[in-house]
Amino acid sequence: MIEFLVMVTGIRDPARRLTYKGTRGAVTDTIDVRKPDCYTCGCLCGQREEANVWRYLLPPLNEYDAI
């Protein structure tokens, strides 16, 4: 979630993959290259507003779902 927030706000470039090791209390970052044939890497990553992530939000079905 944090990486999504830093990407949307433009604070910094998000890390592609973080591994949280709870028993060790450590976070590791994987440094790998983007694959040219990957849809997510090639089309969505770095698009910000053009990716239109808001299209996946659904309106509430009734008044009780909005709470």
| SS3 track for the chain | CHHHHHHHHCCCCCCCCEEEECCCCEEEECCCCCCCCCHHHHHHCCCHHHHCHHHHCCCCCCCCCCC
Pairwise CA distance, residues 59 & 1, whole Å: 22
Please check whether residue 21 is in contact with residue 27, taking contact to mean a CB–CB distance below 8 angstroms. yes
Confidence at 63, pLDDT banded by 50, 70, 90: low
Q: What is the mean pLDDT of residues 31-50?
A: 77
The answer to whether residue 22 scores a pLDDT higher than 70 is yes
Pairwise CA distance, residues 6 & 32, whole Å: 19
Q: What is the mean pLDDT of residues 26-42?
A: 79
